[in-house]
Structure 1
Amino acid sequence: MNSTSFSSLPLTPALLSNLDTLGYHQMTAIQAQSLPAVLEGRDLIAQAKTGSGKTAAFGLGILQKLNPAWFATQALVLCPTRELADQVANELRRLARAMGNVKVLVLTGGAPMRPQIASLEHGAHIVVGTPGRIRDHLGRATLDLSKVQTLVLDEADRMTDMGFYDEIANIVSACPTRRQTLLFSATYPDDIRHATASFLIDPLEVTVEAQHDNSQIEQRFYEIGFDERNHAVARLLNHFQPVSTIAFCNTKVQCRELADALRAQGFTALALYGELEQRERDEILVLFANRSCSVLVATDVAARGLDIPNLEAVINVDVSKDTEVHIHRVGRTGRGGEQGLALTLCAPNEKKWVKLIEEYQNAPVEWHKLDELKEDEYAVAEPAPMMTLVIQGGKKDKLRPGDLLGALTGDAGLLKEQVGKINVFEFQTYVALDRRIAYQAFERLNKNSPLGGDFGAIKGRYFKMRFIEV
């Protein structure tokens, strides 16, 4: 029997059968190195990136020993952001499908407390949440962690970067001393090792090197002068014309400046960095994922945990001093069998970091000249293909994606292909529309509104609507 096969693990027949149905046959590197120890009940420190399969590595450990008949919080997974918490919870639900009634509850900020408290009153087997919101529930005594058997700290380095250490320490102290603790982190510097030492007992340490598939990703390096960065990014975008790009910057100031410079040249660009409010962050990610924003200018900390499908290009606006960070940035493109493009700008003082990249990947990088790229001084950047309509109504108003699609293809007369992603949140809904017909569709939705031009009809009810201009 293959040692990387899930069937080689001591998992219940129900879990193995479901893994087979999901198409999970062979373990990823992180799963193969950590799951045997996790299933034995050992504590774990695992260095692994987003996309490495780590959720199944801790998720299967949680589910193997979970008792669905016992309505107590038996596992807690702490994540740095709401997006990652949602991703983790959805994956846990998929892994638990064959086990019957396993309740996975998400507790994050940016959502009202009352529905969360009501859900907790009915009990949850697994809680996935952000440190701040978990702390709030502990303070109100609405969450009981005294029965937790497995505690997972996901992206521990990022939670520490975001200033959550004190909250995490309080949450750990609310869990039983006898428990299993699993810590996952993209990096594991000495300060985090020291800070988390008291949370773990004799942990197994596992490191999975980050590499990407070079056959799927074309990497190009461009040498530039010190003051050419913003101009060089615009030039690359004009030449390669990717539909969606993440441009990585080392600082939030640089992020904001580059996004402003690109917008001034007609690109639909937005900046994503650590100190944004959750609502702003959510909105930016919706606009980028639904193709209403073509360029996301982001810091590494802000972009961690994002899983953007069909990302055509990555631009390293400056070379990262950490080789693994560079590999992680580049590995965001060229996923799912698609071809990807990774473009790196390098000032003379950054060549030493490029040498480290060459050593790490055991191959020289490919240098190109910016002057090779044709530059049309009259060229106007193509705007993003979609525009986002925000509707002031959401789950609380019982709005569903099907209702909106019906209104847009019915009353507004659109074709299905002209409607993009529909994201329904608690109080707001975001709908991506083909930019060429967006305003026309909006006018049709609200042409007979008795409440004025900002209101449109959906299933016989009127909701306030507006476009987000990027």
Structure 2
Amino acid sequence: MATARTANPAPMAGLNKPANGQLRGQTKTGGQQSELLSNVQHPSAHKRTSIPQSSGGIKFGDDWKKCLELPPKDTRVKTSDVTSTKGNEFEDYCLKRELLMGIFEMGWEKPSPVQEESIPIALSGRDILARAKNGTGKSGAYLIPLLERIDLKKDHIQAMVMVPTRELALQMSQISIQLSKHLGGVKIMATTGGTNLRDDIMRLDETVHVVIATPGRILDLIKKGVAKVDKTQMMVMDEADKLLSQDFVVLMENIISFMPKDRQILLYSATFPISVQKFMSKHMQKPYEINLMEELTLKGITQYYAYVTERQKVHCLNTLFSRLQINQSIIFCNSTQRVELLAKKITQLGYSCFYIHAKMMQEYRNRVFHDFRNGLCRNLVCTDLFTRGIDIQAVNVVINFDFPKNAETYLHRIGRSGRFGHLGLAINLITSDDRYNLKNIEDQLVTDIKPIPSSIDKSLYVAEFHSVDAEDGEEKA
């Protein structure tokens, strides 16, 4: 079985299926695919700062902000989901200077609405029940107060972040490490199923302050007496609706039983099913409720459908690739088998393509996620594994090759574009069997999914970056 190399993308002549989910097609010379991915701004492309881990070199009275190496300023248009703020600054929350340095070097200039609501309440130690849309800054809303409250003098696990998928755990640990890099020794560990248990046991033999985990693995480590959480004062549940679904709720109840009675729980979700309400009444003490979800669908995401037969789907996808200006796209299928079949078809059409699903080995999933996030491929085909919280700023187009069965899945899928208030495009390939689902989802989300026009206005989904000309200093779009 052939395995495509990740370092040097090469054309794929045949249909041999690589085990690692990285299919590479010959890059077409026409249409959007000919553009170089190096033009896309990726979080990992930012230069590393030269400031030491500790801020001991910065003396009182120094202008510490001058020492920061900030990422390029993001001048793209943003929607009111992230701009309708009270005008607060991160400095208003009396955070440690070292944490502020990490925040600004992430490119986070001002708190978003969910961060404004969450940070001061979380710092006070109160439970939080927050409903906010995907891509509006939820991770910063809980990671900033969590890291602020870590006491480096204590060598036990002080906080846990629970997430439903391995990819989200890795993403959250990367953000946490970046935010805390000037704090001088905060030890952060990600632990998920599908990885070597012995490595986790050895890691927990040393000091760990923050654990970011999926429920099954951390519960296993707790029961083995390796992960001691009897002094853990804070637990965050991100994508709480999924964590409290039938898949995970028993595990979550078990985990909480090992924690102290006076722990703080921060619960974040875009949707609030009955399971969340039951959990709140049982385990949370007068939580501060935040609801930034007056309307469900994300502002800035334009939604279209194309009415096709099953046999026309691949042809329609090929047409979209040739006509749209795609930075990066995520294409959803409803089964792992269809993911792999479609990835082969896209490669046959001559486009580079990765795929990812839950039945792949974890090391391959990690590689695909890492390489796609770093811009090594423009298109990713996946199952709903990839709908939860995954934040890849360059994704501006989501295509539902298979239309989802319910509104919640649809909402999470299209939320992979339009991250942090930026513009995005969602295109749904609809067969006759999907008509009723389309109508039901429109009604439940109170949204309008329109027929796809012959030409789509690029201003609806293509970001316009503003740059300053080096010679004359004039700002240009």
8 A Cα contact 1:47 1:207, kept in partner: yes
Q: Offset at 1:69?
A: 0.9
Counterpart CA distance in 2 for 1:33 and 1:308 is 24
Instruction: Tell whether 2:180 aligns with 1:89.
Output: no
Q: Secondary structure of the equivalent of 1:105? A: strand
Counterpart residue number, 1:118 = 202
Query: Which digits, 9 at most, give the CA deviation of each residue in 1:350-388, with x for residues without a partner?
Result: 377369649967777363259x9xxxxxxxxxxxxxxxx
Tell me which moved more, 92-101 or 180-189: 92-101
Q: Does 1:368 align with 2:453?
A: yes
The answer to whether residue 222 in structure 2 is matched with residue 138 in structure 1 is yes
Query: Residues of 2 paired with 1:197 and 1:168: CA distance?
Result: 15
Compared CA separation, residues 311 and 189, structure 1 to 2 (3 A): same
- Aligned match of 2:260: 176
Whether the 8 Å CA contact 1:248–1:316 is kept in 2: the answer is yes
Cα distance 1:239–1:322, how it changes in 2: closer, same or farther (>3 A)?
same
Map of 1:298 onto structure 2: 382
| 2:149 partner letter | K
Larger-gyration structure (1/2): 1
Aligned partner of 1:33 in structure 2 is 117
Q: Report the Cα distance in structure 2 between the residues aligned to 1:308 and 1:90, rounded to whole angstroms.
A: 13
1:229 to 305, 313, 327: 313
| Total equivalences in the alignment | 369
d(CA) in 1 for partners of 2:246, 2:346: 28
Is the CA contact (8 Å cut-off) linking 2:192 and 2:214 kept in structure 1?
yes
Match in the other structure for 2:234: 150
The correspondence for 2:282, drawn from 180, 194, 198, is 198
TM-score, normalisation: structure 2: 0.65
Bigger Cα displacement from structure 2, 185-194 vs 348-357: 348-357
- Amino acid paired to 1:135: L
For the 8 Å contact 2:191–2:200, the answer to whether it is kept is yes
CA contact (8 A) 1:314 1:342 kept: yes
Once residues 111 and 363 of structure 1 are traced to their aligned partners in structure 2, the CA distance between those partners, rounded to angstroms, is: 42
Distance in 2 (CA, whole Å) between partners of 1:45 and 1:237 is 41
Correspondence for 1:406: none
Mapped to 2, the partners of 1:313 and 1:40 lie a distance apart of 39
The code of the aligned residue for 1:368 comes to P
Of 157, 163, 167, the match for 2:251: 167
Find the residue that maps to 1:99 and give its secondary structure: coil
Superposed, which structure 2 residues align to 1:30-429 within 5 Å?
30-160=114-244, 163-195=247-279, 197-209=281-293, 212=298, 214=300, 219-225=303-309, 228-240=312-324, 242=326, 244-252=328-336, 254-263=338-347, 265-286=349-370, 288-289=372-373, 294-320=378-404, 326=410, 328-333=412-417, 340-347=424-431, 350=435, 353=438, 357=442, 365=450, 367-368=452-453
Q: Please tell me the residue identity of whatever aligns with 1:236.
A: L
Partners of 1:334 and 1:12 in 2: CA distance: 31
Cα distance between partner residues in 1 of 2:416 and 2:386:
14
Task: Quote the residue 1:388 is aligned against.
Answer: none
Asked if the contact 2:157–2:211 (Cα under 8 Å) also holds between the matched residues in 1, the reply is: yes
Query: CA 1:286 to 1:98, structure 2 compared with 1: closer, same or farther past 3 Å?
Result: closer
Distance 1:18-1:179 versus aligned 2 partners, 3 A rule = same
Name the SS for the 1:296 alignment partner. Answer: strand
Cα distance change, pair 15–309 in 1 and its aligned pair in 2 (3 A): closer
2:83 is equivalent to residue 8 of structure 1? no
Distance 1:145 1:206, change over 3 A: same
Give the structure with the larger strand fraction.
1
Assess if the C-alpha contact under 8 Å between 1:274 and 1:302 holds in 2.
no
Measured in 2, the distance between the counterparts of 1:36 and 1:241 equals: 41
**1:155 Cα deviation after fit:** 1.7
What is the TM-score when the length of structure 1 is the normalising length? 0.66
Alpha carbons of structure 1 residues 62 and 334: separation in structure 2 relative to 1, 3 Å:
closer
- Counterpart in the other structure of 1:462: none
SS in 2 for 1:183: strand
Identity value in percent: 30
Q: 1:162 to 1:336 in 2, by over 3 A?
A: same
- CA–CA separation in structure 2 for the residues paired with 1:60 and 1:340: 27
1:146 deviates by 0.9
Are 1:56 and 1:95, in contact at CA under 8 Å, matched by a contact in 2? no
Partner of 1:408: none
Question: Contact between 1:138 and 1:144, CA under 8 Å: does it hold in 2?
Answer: yes
Aligned to 1:110, the other structure's residue is in SS state: coil
The answer on whether the counterparts of 1:109 and 1:130 sit within 8 Å (CA) in structure 2 is yes
Whichever residue aligns with residue 153 of structure 1, its letter is M
2:114 touches 2:292 (CA, 8 Å); kept in 1?
Answer: yes
Distance in 2 separating the partners of 1:289 and 1:237: 20
| 1:80 CA drift (Å) | 2.0
Please give the alpha-carbon distance, in whole angstroms, between the structure 2 residues aligned to 1:17 and 1:244.
30
Change (3 A) 1:331 1:171: closer
CA RMSD of aligned residues (A): 3.7
Query: Looking at both structures, which has the greater relative contact order when contacts are Cα pairs under 8 Å and sequence separation is at least 6?
Result: 2
Residue 228 to residue 185, structure 1, CA distance change in 2 (3 Å): same
Aligned counterparts of 1:192 and 1:41: Cα–Cα separation in 2: 20
Question: How far 1:156 moved relative to its partner?
Answer: 2.3
- Give, in whole Å, the separation in 1 of the partners of 2:195 and 2:370: 16
Task: Report the secondary structure of 1:307's partner residue.
Answer: coil
Q: 2:450 aligns to what SS in structure 1?
A: coil
Give 3-state SS (helix, strand or coil) of 1:194's partner. Answer: helix
